[in-house]
Amino acid sequence: MKQDAQKVPSNDRGQGRKSLSGGGKTPITAIRLAPEQREKLDRLGGSAWVRKAIDSATDSQATESPDKASQVVDKAVNQALDKIEKGISKLIENARMKT
């Protein structure tokens, strides 16, 4: 072993996975998915597919998406409430006919 060789700290050796952009460390983002969603993500291409989807999305889509999602949920809730109301009305009508 050479006496004059300078030791390099273990965290400065350039070890580990390099970032995709080559500009340093890439932050890791975790998301929770159902098992079926995870399988679909794998079929779509995994993290490469997610990066491509994010890069192709516009900023206006980011602000529109929550509104669209809430509209879809509101519509589904209203449809369910309508079905419940109709069911209750039928039950009341049938009860009146029996008496």
Please tell me whether the overall predicted TM-score, pTM, comes out greater than 0.75 for this model.
no
Tens-digit pLDDT profile for residues 5-61 = 666 666 666 666 666 666 667 778 898 989 999 999 999 989 888 888 888 877 766
- Radius of gyration for the chain, computed over Cα atoms and rounded to the nearest angstrom: 28
Report the alpha-carbon distance of residue 78 to residue 82 in Å, rounded. Answer: 6
pLDDT value at residue 71? 79
Where does the chain show beta strands of DSSP type E? none
